[in-house]
Structure 1
Amino acid sequence: MKEFFITGTDTDAGKTHVTSLLLKLLAQHKKQAIGFKPLASGCEMAFDQLVNADALILMESATVSAKYDVINPFAFAPAIAPHIAAEQAGVTITADNLSSAYKNVKQQGADYILTEGAGGWALPISNTDYLYNWVKAEQLPVILVVGMKLGCLNHALLTAAHIQSMGINCIGWIANQVDPNMDEYQANLDSLKLRLPFPILAISPYSEQTPKLQIYKTLLENFALNT
């Protein structure tokens, strides 16, 4: 089983968009893959339960099906930081109950599990803990999604530095063009290629039509997909 954690440079970097494309890539290669969205805020009631649009996208993109509460065990209505929403709902999020939820995902029979984080890298899950500590405890390889917009250089480099400082394995980064009118897009992309300590895995160009992923060989190698 291959497992990866997809994080982003900030809340709107495009983690769901990229994770969905990666799941579809695995589907094209006839792989059994599932997405996991452990924490989600901004949920709405449907089918007598709170559901999150991002989690539903992951479910639609996966080749392995599971019940909603397996894919998204912690769902909160307010579109606020998950640890604050959890506190308001009287729910405690710990690394242990995240690991318990993750075991349920592992039991679904997938060969690949893509876990999408919430917000950016330094996401609190309580007043004393962060999601990245759980990622480290589970020894999940990380994929960093860089939202290509003004400020992305700072956000990407700071995130990468913290990932490195924790000794976590980041296999690479994916550039997601969230701003179609970004000034000097190519120059910023080249700057990130030069400065980030991890290899680029793919580029997701901005598109109002069918989204695409420009794939680098390093991504195929890490996913063990035949080129």
Structure 2
Amino acid sequence: MSKHYFVTGTDTEIGKTTIAAGLLHAARLRGLTTAGVKPVAAGCERTPEGLRNEDALALQAECNPPLAYELINPVTLEAAIAPHIAAREANVPLSAQALAGACRQVFDGRADLTLVEGAGGWCVPLNDEELLSDVAIALKLPVVLVVGMRLGCINHALLSCRAIAADGLHLAGWVANHVDADMSRQAENLATLKALIKAPCLGVVPRLESADAAAVAAHLQVTPLV
């Protein structure tokens, strides 16, 4: 049976793509088919093939069977700023309905595990009325939360958990990603998160010299998702 999840984070730049690619890689090691979607990406580079986003390319590398880039990242925005601002400046319309429809196209491929990666945290605007989380709500997706382990992470994680629950979605699991190697009392913060987040911890990812998907996958448990 195909499984679909929405990957969000406690903030921007806390490793959503790193963790999503790691989970997809872990699924591939089990012989499962995989797909990744980055519905909207701000911060794309111009290439001969068109605008390309580093995060979407990382997801594409873990898709088995391969997927066309346009399916993985249907909305590409060049400016590395908040998506709704980048879209407004580029005169590109953004709506939850359209992005959900793009995700459904990938779901139709019926991969064993499909991950839809958000942008930033849970409450990132798409336009003046909708948030990117409305895509997850429209698709009724269970959520995987990436917790960036740094000062303040407990508050950010618990607020994110509350917001996900308030929006009627199920938190399927969470991952602790050590983004700050100098974080004080890492073990104590991790213990508190494990006690307070009522969902499976899918892994604790340390600071890695090379945070490629294979290295990250070694620290993750994909079984609860598949």
SS at match of 1:201: strand
1:78 aligns with 2:79: yes
**Bigger mean CA deviation after superposition, 206-215 or 162-171:** 206-215
- CA shift at 1:109, angstroms? 4.5
Q: Distance in 2 between matches of 1:209 and 1:77?
A: 26
RMSD between aligned residues: 1.4
- Of 204, 221, 226 in structure 1, the residue corresponding to residue 224 of structure 2 is 221
- CA shift at 1:116, angstroms? 0.6
- The count of corresponding residues between Structure 1 and Structure 2 is 221
- Provide closer, same or farther for how the CA distance between residues 109 and 196 of structure 1 changes in structure 2, counting only shifts above 3 A: closer
| 2:22/2:220 contact within 8 Å kept | no
1:196 aligns with 2:201: no
**Bigger mean CA deviation after superposition, 123-132 or 192-201:** 192-201
Q: Distance in 2 between matches of 1:125 and 1:40?
A: 11
| 2:103/2:116 contact within 8 Å kept | no
Letter paired with 1:142 = V
- CA shift at 1:99, angstroms? 2.0
- CA shift at 1:209, angstroms? 3.5
Partner of 1:57: 58
- CA shift at 1:222, angstroms? 2.8
Q: Distance in 2 between matches of 1:69 and 1:192?
A: 37
- CA shift at 1:62, angstroms? 1.9
1:120 aligns with 2:116: no
Q: Distance in 2 between matches of 1:64 and 1:6?
A: 21
Relative to the length of structure 1, the TM-score reads 0.93
Taking the TM superposition and a 5 Å limit, the aligned residue runs for 1:20-169 are 20-169=21-170
Letter paired with 1:138 = L
Q: Distance in 1 between matches of 2:70 and 2:192?
A: 41
Give the percent of matched residue pairs that are identical in Structure 1 and Structure 2.
Answer: 40
- Provide closer, same or farther for how the CA distance between residues 45 and 189 of structure 1 changes in structure 2, counting only shifts above 3 A: same
Q: Distance in 2 between matches of 1:90 and 1:21?
A: 34
| 1:64/1:109 contact within 8 Å kept | no
- CA shift at 1:221, angstroms? 3.0
Q: Distance in 1 between matches of 2:51 and 2:88?
A: 16
Structure of greater relative contact order (alpha carbons < 8 Å, 6+ residues apart): 2
Letter paired with 1:131 = L
Letter paired with 2:126 = I
Runs (4+) of structure 1 exceeding 4 A deviation are none
Relative to the length of structure 2, the TM-score reads 0.93
| 1:76/1:86 contact within 8 Å kept | yes
| 1:32/1:111 contact within 8 Å kept | yes
Partner of 1:207: 208
Letter paired with 2:224 = E
Q: Distance in 1 between matches of 2:140 and 2:177?
A: 25
- CA shift at 1:74, angstroms? 0.7
Q: Distance in 2 between matches of 1:149 and 1:16?
A: 18
Per-residue CA deviation, residues 131-169 of structure 1 (Å, 9 max, x unaligned), is: 112211211010000000111111101111111112211
Q: Which runs of 5+ in 2 are unaligned?
A: none
SS at match of 2:175: strand
